[in-house]
């Protein structure tokens, strides 16, 4: 199974412009993501797909393969589709690793890769929710699956609703999962889903994976025990730098 790892990294960001080049312990963030992804043995190749010359320059300097893509892509999925089209080799699957996950663990990518058997159309990761703040935060996407691990729905609201149970007790009364934003696409499916019009569910929740579910595509999930720490704002970066400092002090 040939799997292409793609790290979409755009310059524009409403909350944190230029975050792909944010300094993480002396390394641009997108390069640090690439260094982590490179450690996953299941990936045949890893490419940074960007729309900005400075990002491409930093990535190339570090030794990464770079693919220049259109600056008007509405999502990382669309950027991945263009990057796949530019490859000279054929790949069975693409794994989209977000360029703002400098602490992504290669084992998470391997866990996702284990789902890719030729029949799987799309796949992603979920993780058990352990804190009430995450359960009720609209910024933490919740996931519900069937007994075989196929995604049924994603929402910014806690789902399912626990009738006749006080919300203060929800976390103790039910097993909840949040979505981890790493995706795998079968190559032919990737080209199909980028041609889909936005659906009603995607519009109201602002979650692109709902477009795929609403169109009838199937998304397999695997449960990870590992946490992720994405960077969306300068405040997130400050927390990430503190985490990095703590990790270095523990190693010392």
Could you give the angle at which helices 106-113 and 29-37 cross, rounded to 10 degrees?
50
For residue 134, the surrounding DSSP H or E stretch is helix 132-136
pLDDT digits (tens, 9 = 90+) for 94-144: 999 998 888 899 999 999 999 999 999 999 999 999 999 999 999 899 999
pLDDT of residue 61: 97
Segment-wise mean pLDDT, segments of 10 residues, the chain, 252 residues: 95 76 90 96 98 95 96 93 96 95 93 97 97 94 97 97 95 96 97 96 97 98 89 81 72 62
- Residue among 51, 47, 50 nearest 94 (CA): 47
* CA atoms of 98 and 114, how far apart (whole Å): 19
pLDDT of residue 14: 63
* CA atoms of 126 and 176, how far apart (whole Å): 10
pLDDT of residue 252: 60
**What's this model's pTM, rounded to 2 decimal places?**
0.93
Contact 55, 47 (CB under 8 A): no
The domain 3-127+179-251 belongs to what CATH superfamily? Spore Coat Polysaccharide Biosynthesis Protein SpsA; Chain A (3.90.550.10)
pLDDT of residue 250: 64
Q: Is 67 helix (H, G, I), strand (E, B) or coil?
A: strand
Q: Where are the domains of the chain?
A: 3-127+179-251
């Amino acid at each position: 199974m040939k799997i292409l790892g793609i790290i979409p990294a755009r310059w524009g960001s409403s909350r944190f412009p230029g975050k792909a080049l944010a300094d993480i312990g002396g390394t641009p963030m997108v390069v640090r993501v690439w260094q982590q992804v490179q450690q996953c043995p299941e990936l045949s190749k890893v490419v940074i797909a960007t729309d900005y010359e400075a990002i491409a320059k930093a990535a190339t300097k570090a030794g990464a393969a770079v693919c220049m893509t259109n600056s008007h892509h509405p999502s990382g999925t669309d950027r991945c589709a263009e990057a796949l089209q530019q490859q000279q080799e054929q790949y069975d699957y693409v794994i989209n690793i977000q360029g703002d996950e400098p602490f992504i663990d290669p084992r998470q990518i391997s866990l996702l890769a284990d789902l890719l058997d030729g029949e799987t159309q799309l796949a992603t990761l979920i993780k058990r929710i352990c804190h009430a703040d995450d359960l009720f935060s609209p910024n933490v996407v919740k996931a519900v699956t069937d007994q075989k691990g196929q995604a049924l729905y994603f929402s910014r609201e806690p789902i399912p609703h626990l009738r006749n149970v006080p919300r203060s007790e929800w976390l103790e009364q039910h097993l909840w999962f949040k979505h981890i934003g790493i995706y795998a696409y079968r190559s032919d499916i990737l080209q199909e889903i980028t041609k889909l019009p936005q659906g009603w569910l995607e519009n109201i929740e602002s979650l692109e994976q709902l477009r795929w579910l609403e169109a009838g595509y199937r998304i397999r999930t695997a449960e990870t025990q590992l946490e992720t720490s994405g960077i969306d704002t300068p405040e997130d970066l400050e927390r990430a730098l503190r985490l990095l400092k703590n990790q270095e002090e523990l190693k010392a």
